[in-house]
Chain A
């Protein structure tokens, strides 16, 4: 029941743009993660939507109500936005017991048309009329009982936060946030203080929670795994600028640019520099790894001349907008990592025949008849799968092999790239040109 809309939201401190001209629509009942490296502006975005931070300019609406508008000077304070917020360090009140922590907010609700149903959910129905009243002790008890049952903390109601473990504190914080029945739930890296095992467990519980509450969830994380597994849509931000806003698998399979491709996926995608031209039939003839001739067949139709014209138009429009003289955090093109054994000097003077190919590790296929020759550089078996790094000339490629295969370091192997999942970027601007299939012709 809550759709959130951000338009042209900017937050800056002096010349530093924490969030730069962000447009975002979060659909009702969505589970959106704001993903990005630390300091990219994702927490700031979340806090601006919640009302804890005031944007420099732009407009935010929640459920059709404008909660912030710099042009009109509207800024509804956080306490009137009726949202829930789960803090990174839980922010439990150390001077109150678990029960008090959860019930404190409830005891302050004072509205007309208030009622609590048998399940212990608050029903708000101001149109129905009725006197403005507070919740009774019994009603509060009922609500606390419900939320504490959801996160299974009933045995700890009389303890103080200091007497709970990190995971239990986390659950109390969730219960406290859920209690007033918020229409939107904001979460700021809620799992980052938990150990790996507990984090996995809580992750699945959050997913269940999203289903059972039916609220809109906005979730900040720097952990791409968390974003991939939880979200219905991922909003990837870098340096205050939105990079991609799509469903997780789209982000994974069709990254908008080299930054997104590199950030999402573990082990990270393999980047290879390539040089060549588009052919008459629409395919690209490219030379990779300094010696292999390949053909890249795009999955969809693309005309490279037209593509560059469009991209240049978008880039110049963006640059005109970001006030380059004022902005102190410059939007430099992302320097994608190409793994090599020894350092290779950076190439200067790029042109339109320079490309970057991205191959996910699971598409690096080791087989007897593979056209590419290499040797095992390192191998890390986990039991379920083995991550190998293969040396091809001066380059290193990462691959994932399922099952407990044992490789010897230095062992000669052959490999090829499988499937239609290879992505082609322009090396000049780092943008995605197309997804497609890569065939090796030979040396």
Chain B
């Protein structure tokens, strides 16, 4: 190693030296490892879906035809195009009244759900951006009243489990005459029967999805409004530009990137949403998948493949637009005093309007769930007219023995029901494991990518980690279902944790990457120069400085995991975790139990959110959808 004039070494030696130098940097070694790991955990399950579409499944419709059954032994391990052919060519004949109606398999199982999925996704995008965007503008740019309260309650629908609003919609508007079942609150109170299109199908699904995802729009668009230099608008005002023109030509183009990312996020999330269309009875790709998965397994995988394709499409659009998005980043920044638009008298009208709206979306579900647990029969609101006595009960909470009468179906009350508490314990276990794994991996990715900004491999790993974010939850769930069944780990916590970790790494990697990018590289270099080992640099310098955003990287997966249904429902039996348990009680018609579980879940999430927010300053809104 001593200086020499011309001491060249062999090509192998040089390559080896270079590799050694590369790998001794911890960020490179970690990146290499995680890159390989993520490629396997993200790509392989997706690959298994594809493979599943060209295989026969014993016991499913694939093998019903005799000819095929005979061949099954031979074909069992072979690949076939049967599923594709069957889906696109076959017809099904059903009796409707006296007539026999023949429809193609594809139209029932594929085209109708696909159209519905796309429609609700588009409507959800529009609705979320309109509702969330207007609210964002009002909160950040005008002198609206009760801003602080409104701002925090507006996020509630996103924090709460997805189905909350769908179930509330049912509780409000269902009626025996129109939808069957019990009369909802609306009928009981006002005697109004809402039409069927209002109670089920595309309209309520779109509305509920819009409300559920409006917080995305609020946080993303509001973030830009908040950071936007008011001078930009003032400059236009000084040039005597009409206010509407300022809004159209200056304000709107600036928030365009945020609107775009909202669209991408909402579109893929809405497409993969299962509970909302399920409760509100709409046939979408995700509900159809669940409906047909047992007897048309191969064809169901084709649906999942289509959902996955949408995910990839969104990833590509996202990639294309991020380059343009960066052009705007210089605009945001230090605005000192931003002048607020005076709404005049409309101030009070709008404030009250939003107070009412958020009451419906944020407070009412909790109240309704609470009430439901005290009703003797599900949806029986007769206590409103006849008083509490005799029309309310505490049996759903307090029954401590097995009783088959009383409509308890042998279940103990919520407080004494070991199955429920086991499921809660399961959920917590999964949530904690997912949070630890996803948080750690995501933080490491954020750190390593920020250290290797120019490297292609780093951006590959970053994209690999981000991909599951844009994949519809159900598609990810399906991928892990097929993967898990193949690997023999179906219905294990391991599979749940694996799926959850992969799906939630983006939460942590985004927030870590954002914060690491803001940390000057010199802070760590100052320690490198002094030969401080890597783990000590991390534990003593980087993590303490960035603790808030790192904590949110752990917190977000945890919170999301607590209320996750779509991703997990295919991966385990119903008693394993609380959200699937909830679905079980729903199917059993024990709505008091499912409402009680909902109530506990919502309250828990809200308490956790507030607690962590107060303790560490980390909050859920800093992370979702952040880029």
Contact = CB atoms under 8 A, between A and B. Distances in A.
Do A and B interact with each other, yes or no? yes
B550 to A, nearest CB: 13
Contacts of B523: 91, 93
Contacts of A96: 540-541
A73 B17 contact: yes
Contacts of B544: 95
A91 B520 contact: yes
A52 interface: yes
Interface stretch (A81-89, A146-154, A299-307): A81-89
B16 A91 contact: no
A52 B2 contact: no
Contacts of B21: 73-75, 77
Contacts of B16: 73
A322 interface: no
Interface string B498-532: 00000000000000000000001011011111111
B1 interface: yes
A78 B529 contact: yes
Given A52-B525, A77-B21, A95-B545, A105 B2 contact: no
A93 B531 CA distance: 15
Contacts of B529: 50, 52, 78-79, 83-85
A334 B390 CA distance: 97
Size category, A interface: 35 or more
B404 interface: no
Interface string A61-85: 1001110000111110111101111
Nearest to A65: B1
Given A72-B7, A74-B1, A75-B21, 7 more contacts: A66-B3, A72-B9, A73-B13, A85-B529, A93-B541, A105-B530, A108-B536
Contacts of B249: none
Given A52-B525, A66-B3, A80 B531 contact: yes
A72 B17 contact: yes
B533 A71 contact: no
Interface string B428-469: 000000000000000000000000001000000000000000
B15 interface: yes
B158 to A, nearest CB: 32
Contacts of A50: 529
The interface residues of chain B, by DSSP majority, are classed as: helix
A180 interface: yes
A441 interface: no
B25 interface: yes
A64 B1 CA distance: 9
Interface residues of B, number: 33
A61 B525 contact: no
Contact of A94 (B7, B9, B24, B545): B545
A328 B558 CA distance: 49
A77 B25 CA distance: 8
B147 interface: no
Contacts of A109: 531
Given A73-B13, A104-B532, A91 B525 contact: yes
Interface string B536-550: 100011001100000
A106 to B, nearest CB: 8
Contacts of B1: 65-66, 74
Interface string B1-22: 1110001110001111110010
B625 to A, nearest CB: 29
A66 B2 contact: yes
Interface in A22-80: 50, 52, 59, 61, 64-66, 71-75, 77-80
Contacts of B13: 72-73
A180 to B, nearest CB: 6
A5 interface: yes
A121 B513 CA distance: 40
17 contacts: A64-B2, A65-B2, A66-B1, A74-B17, A75-B18, A75-B21, A79-B530, A79-B531, A87-B522, A91-B525, A93-B540, A94-B545, A95-B541, A96-B541, A105-B532, A108-B530, A108-B533
B526 A91 contact: yes
Interface in B12-54: 13-18, 21, 24-25
Interface string B198-229: 00000000000000000000000000000000
B24 A77 contact: yes
A390 to B, nearest CB: 43
Nearest to B534: A79
A104 B533 contact: no
Contacts of B533: 108
Contacts of B528: 52, 77-79
A61 B530 contact: no
- Chain A to chain B: the 6 pairs with minimum beta-carbon distance, closest first: A73-B17, A105-B530, A91-B522, A73-B14, A79-B531, A91-B526
Contacts of B15: 73
Contacts of A180: 530
A116 B412 CA distance: 73
A82 B528 CA distance: 10
A161 B532 CA distance: 20
Interface in A104-157: 104-105, 108-109
Contacts of B9: 71-73
A247 B348 CA distance: 74
A78 B521 CA distance: 14
A78 B525 contact: yes
A183 to B, nearest CB: 13
Contacts of A89: 520, 522
B14 A71 contact: yes
Nearest to A5: B3
A85 B526 contact: yes
Contacts of A108: 530-533, 536
A72 B9 CA distance: 6
Contacts of A80: 531
A52 B14 CA distance: 20
Give the most central of A5, A52, A59, A84: most B CB within 10 Å. A52
Contact of A93 (B3, B17, B526): B526
Interface string B573-604: 00000000000000000000000000000000
Contacts of A75: 17-18, 21
A71 B541 CA distance: 35
Contacts of B14: 71-73
Which of A50, A85, A176 lies at the interface centre, i.e. has the most chain B CB atoms within 10 A of its CB? Answer: A85
Given A75-B21, A78-B528, A79-B529, A64 B3 contact: yes
Interface string B135-170: 000000000000000000000000000000000000
Contacts of A104: 527, 530, 532, 540
Nearest to B14: A73
B384 to A, nearest CB: 57
Given A52-B528, A77-B24, A104-B540, A71 B8 contact: yes
A108 B7 CA distance: 35
A87 B532 contact: no
A179 B533 CA distance: 17
Most-contacted residue by chain A among B7, B531, B536, B544 (CB, 10 A) = B531
A87 to B, nearest CB: 4
Contacts of A82: 531
Given A64-B3, A65-B2, A93-B523, A72 B8 contact: yes
A73 B454 CA distance: 21
Nearest to A66: B1
Contacts of B18: 73, 75
A167 to B, nearest CB: 18
A105 B527 contact: yes
B192 to A, nearest CB: 61
A190 B319 CA distance: 39
A293 to B, nearest CB: 54
A78 B16 CA distance: 19
Contacts of A92: 526
A72 B526 CA distance: 28
Contacts of B17: 72-75
Nearest to A53: B525
A89 B519 CA distance: 12
